[in-house]
Amino acid sequence: MNSAPDNVVELNSVAKTFRDFWMRPTVKAVDGLDLTVARGEVFGLLGPNGSGKSTTIKMILGLIKPGAGTVRLFGLPPDSIAARRRLGYLPELSYLHPFLTARETISYYAGLCGLDSRTSKERTSQLLEMTGLADAAGRAVGGFSKGMARRVALASALVGRPELLILDEPTSGLDPVSTNEVKTLVKTLVKGGMTILMTSHLLADAEDVCNRVCILNHGRKVAEGKIGEIGSSLQDFFLAKVGEGRDFTVAEFLR
Amino acid sequence: MRAFLQIVRLELVAIARSKAMVLLALASVAWMFILPRIALDDGTAEGAFQMNVRYSLGVVYTLVLVSFSAVAAGTLARDREAKRLQLTMVRPARHMFIALGRIAALTIAAALFLGVSCVALGLRYGRGRTCDHVARPVLESPEVEARRLFDENMRDYPDFRAKVAEIGERDIMKYLVQYVNETYQTISKDERAEWNFPPVGDPDARVSVRIRVTDTFGRLEKPKGVFRFEGREGVFDHVNKTLVRVSLSPAAAAESSAQKPGVLSFSNDGDANVTVYPRRDLVLLIEADGFWWNLFRAWLVMSAVAAVAVSAGVFLGASLGRGVAGFCMMAMLAASVASPAALDEYPDPMAATKADRISLRLTGISAFLTSPLDRHAPVAALEAGECVEWREVSGALASGFFVYPVLFSLLAGLVMRRKLD
């Protein structure tokens, strides 16, 4: 399969079924998903819990292999070193080593990205400054608040100057001020030429920053397009019914 | 390479900032200094030395193997459970290096722990003490001799052929190897026995004979005689213990100087027969170098064995949960100690039932798989004053610092994605 040069992420008929110890299928997490993320856009992957967002992200990151279909990052297999060199990832929770200081954490990820010690030092200082953590740089991150830990994780994701930044629920658990800061940062990064793929429960987040969104439910694509274009069909869809056995309104989805 | 070094550094920082590991280090050092003050020995300098080596360095070595195996089994598993591992795995570092970096860091830390204990031991016993090369009689290997016996019996005795058909050649060969190893030689009064050893050549080398003296019923004998080797001789008399070391000094006697190179002779001048198990109980000791050098070689071997244990632990932790990986690692360590002992102690395989033979075979497999952990005995060599040979050191270094870490980290890299769903 030849990837179009402007497509940073490309998923073709991707499916993933989880199995138990005896290899019996338990959950079909993703089912025949086609998706493309173009260079320079902010793409939102939206959907309720269990819709397959995290599984999709893990397949894009090369952490799990799809059961069917193909995933390409920059036209490369997602678990290749060349693809990972161009990737930054902020998980839903920060998952930091509690015994490292903020500076050591960012510097560790800089080293993993292959930066030499001088560049690593410079970039770590810049990112500490940018995320407002310069004063707490020498403190162990185990003692940080959730917001501060999130900023360290974001700085760590950015330290390799990725071309594609994957943000999993970037505003999860943040107060309104921090949420706005993240949104502003996303807009700034995109202006600088970065491509961003983010997941969210909240349509409001996507509306503020995303160029295009894809709505997932039960592992299937429900809708895809620009926010303005799919807004009404989205609303109609959610007002009608999403899922089996329960109503799911846009009002619920929005908040 | 930078990514690898970062992973090594991260693990070292984790160890340095772990309260449990700092406590373990302090306890190890304290034990090295406390033991000599509290241990009761047999009142001789040699007895005190042997006791201190066995229970100070021996205990620290065991402690390091157990604790670092447990830490190794937990390091990747813990990071995966806390979802930190996936953050490292999405960076441009080969997954194999994530495992190899952990192995390297844990090996460095284990080597430091052991190094401090070795230095403490060296400061106490390093001055004036030496170690010896151990040479054994040049005899046909027990397996070759057993095979010859087997062939002879197959040719001459129909009953033997029936027994082989019933029990199997493998078990009978094992029995015959045991039999050959236990073959003894009786040296009668006024008789002279000779054994071939690798020639020493150097006339200035200090040589001794170490022999275990018992009669055929395992009782201490009161032998008397003279050992001669390449122009040296040593009188063997007033024996009051079963394991005897006879120092050989340059001799003027024509009988000694006329000996062929590498031939050790014993003339029985006593009133009783002397029983010798040449394969088991007769060695030539040739002075090598000082205690510090031997300690250094033992440290290298111990560190290499720790590296093997750590490599296996990291591999297990890459694919299993923390609890299961830790349990498997401890079971492996226990099997490495218990399996060879079980094989040694097991009764005559010809008298065993089929179920026993299957269990014995499984124990044999377990002993083979865990042999890298049990193959070397550097503490026992130090304690006995035997030289830890460079040949053994190079083998241990190749397997502990290269073969097993690379093999296990490659495997760990392949299975690391398991359980990330």
Q: Are A236 and A213 in the same domain?
A: yes
Which of the residue ranges A90-104, A162-176, A237-251 would you say has the lowest mean pLDDT?
Answer: A237-251
> Do the domain assignments include residue B146?
no
Q: Which of A240, A239, A213 is nearest to A226 (CA)?
A: A213
- State the smallest CA–CA distance between residue A74 and chain B in angstroms: 14
Asked whether the predicted pLDDT for residue B341 surpasses 80, the reply is: no
Q: Are A97 and A80 in the same domain?
A: no
Asked whether the predicted pLDDT for residue B253 surpasses 70, the reply is: no
Cβ-Cβ contacts under 8 Å, B417 against chain A: 63-65
Q: Are A122 and A137 in the same domain?
A: yes
Q: Which of B368, B231, B374, B214 is nearest to B282 (CA)?
A: B214
> Do the domain assignments include residue B376?
yes
Asked whether the predicted pLDDT for residue B9 surpasses 50, the reply is: yes
One-letter-per-residue 3-state SS of chain A: CCCCCCEEEEEEEEEEEEECCCCCEEEEEEEEEEEEEECCCEEEEECCCCCCHHHHHHHHHCCCCCCEEEEEECCECCCCHHHHCCEEEECCCCCCCCCCEHHHHHHHHHHHCCCCHHHHHHHHHHHHHHCCCHHHCCCEHHHCCHHHHHHHHHHHHHCCCCCEEEEECCCCCCCHHHHHHHHHHHHHHHHCCCEEEEEECCHHHHHHHCCEEEEEECCEEEEEEEHHHHHHHHHHHHHHCCCCCCCCCHHHHHC
Token pair for residue A113?
Answer: 């990205």
Distance between CA atoms of residues A17 and A24, nearest Å: 10
Is the pLDDT higher at A219 or at B419? A219
Specify the pLDDT at position A254: 42
Q: Are A154 and A170 in the same domain?
A: no
Q: Look up tokens 């979802």; give the residue.
A: B83
Q: What percent of chain B has pLDDT over 90?
A: 39
Average pLDDT, chain A: 84
CB-CB: which of B13, B83, B92 is closest to A84? B92
Asked whether the predicted pLDDT for residue B98 surpasses 90, the reply is: yes
Asked whether the predicted pLDDT for residue B206 surpasses 60, the reply is: yes
Residues in chain B: 421
Residue B273: pLDDT band (50, 70, 90) is confident
Q: Are A207 and A237 in the same domain?
A: yes
Domain boundary among A161, A195, A218: A161
The two beta strands, B274-276 and B282-290, are: unpaired
Q: Which domain holds residue A237?
A: 1-86+164-255
Q: Which of A147, A168, A148 is nearest to A101 (CA)?
A: A148
Specify the pLDDT at position B271: 80
Token pair for residue B64?
Answer: 């390091």
Which of the residue ranges A8-12, A58-62, B34-38 would you say has the lowest mean pLDDT?
Answer: B34-38
Say if residues B58 and B310 touch (Cβ distance below 8 Å).
no
Cβ-Cβ contacts under 8 Å, A104 against chain B: 13
- State the smallest CA–CA distance between residue A183 and chain B in angstroms: 22
Q: Are A64 and A108 in the same domain?
A: no
Q: Are B258 and B213 in the same domain?
A: yes
Task: Give the nearest chain A residue to B78 (CA atoms).
Answer: A97
Query: Per the CB < 8 Å rule, is B86 touching A91?
Result: yes
Asked whether the predicted pLDDT for residue A247 surpasses 50, the reply is: no
Q: Are A168 and A157 in the same domain?
A: no
CA neighbours closer than 13 Å in the CB half-sphere of residue B302 = 32
Specify the pLDDT at position B219: 59
CA A154 → CA A79, B81, B198, distances in Å? 21, 21, 68
> Do the domain assignments include residue B161?
no
Query: Per the CB < 8 Å rule, is B91 touching A99?
Result: no
Cβ-Cβ contacts under 8 Å, A65 against chain B: 417
> Do the domain assignments include residue B287?
no
CATH of the domain at B243: 2.60.120
Cβ-Cβ contacts under 8 Å, A81 against chain B: 92-94
What are A36-81's pLDDT values in tens digits? 999 989 999 888 888 888 899 999 999 889 999 999 999 999 989 9
Asked whether the predicted pLDDT for residue A3 surpasses 60, the reply is: no
CA B75 → CA A63, B15, B100, B323, distances in Å? 19, 10, 12, 12
Asked whether the predicted pLDDT for residue B15 surpasses 60, the reply is: yes
The residues near A251 (Cβ < 8 Å, ≥ 6 apart) are: none
CB-CB: which of B2, B7, B84 is closest to A114? B2
The two beta strands, B243-250 and B232-236, are: antiparallel
Rounded average pLDDT over A88-100: 89
Neighbours of B320 (CB within 10 A): 21
Specify the pLDDT at position A56: 92
CB-CB: which of B17, B82, B420 is closest to A99? B17
| Beta bridge mates, A200 | A46
What are B43-63's pLDDT values in tens digits? 788 888 888 899 999 999 999
Chain Cα centroid distance, residue A13: 20
Q: In a 3-state reduction of DSSP, which class is residue B185?
A: strand
Specify the pLDDT at position B256: 52
Asked whether the predicted pLDDT for residue A249 surpasses 60, the reply is: no
Distance between CA atoms of residues A14 and A8, nearest Å: 16
- State the smallest CA–CA distance between residue A83 and chain B in angstroms: 8
Chain B window 169-228: which residues touch A at a Cβ cutoff of 8 Å? Answer: none
Distance between CA atoms of residues A167 and A53, nearest Å: 11
Task: Give the nearest chain A residue to B418 (CA atoms).
Answer: A64
Q: Look up tokens 């397949």; give the residue.
A: A59
Query: Per the CB < 8 Å rule, is A63 touching B83?
Result: no
Is the pLDDT higher at B411 or at B181? B411
Q: Are A222 and A192 in the same domain?
A: yes
Asked whether the predicted pLDDT for residue B366 surpasses 90, the reply is: no
Specify the pLDDT at position A59: 93
- State the smallest CA–CA distance between residue A55 and chain B in angstroms: 8
Domain count, chain B: 2
What are A182-236's pLDDT values in tens digits? 888 888 888 888 999 998 877 777 888 888 888 888 888 888 888 777 766 555 5
Q: Look up tokens 């300098």; give the residue.
A: B45
CA neighbours closer than 13 Å in the CB half-sphere of residue B279 = 14
A56 touches chain B (CB under 8 A): no
Could you write out the DSSP letters of every residue in B300-340? Answer: HHHHHHHHHHHHHHHHHHHHS-HHHHHHHHHHHHHHHHHHH
Residues in chain A: 255
Query: Per the CB < 8 Å rule, is B9 touching A108?
Result: yes
Tell me how far apart the terminal alpha carbons of chain A are, to the nearest angstrom. 40
Residue B217: pLDDT band (50, 70, 90) is low
Q: Are A155 and A119 in the same domain?
A: yes
Cβ-Cβ contacts under 8 Å, B416 against chain A: none
Domain count, chain A: 2
What are B281-327's pLDDT values in tens digits? 899 999 998 999 999 999 999 999 999 999 999 999 998 888 999 99
Q: Are B124 and B212 in the same domain?
A: no
- State the smallest CA–CA distance between residue B317 and chain A in angstroms: 17
Task: Give the nearest chain A residue to B86 (CA atoms).
Answer: A63
Q: Which helix (H) or strand (E) holds B211?
A: strand B207-212
Specify the pLDDT at position A167: 92
Q: Which domain holds residue B270?
A: 184-276
- Provide the greatest CA pair distance for chain A: 58
CB-CB: which of A18, A99, A111 is closest to B2? A111
Domain boundary among B246, B276, B306: B276
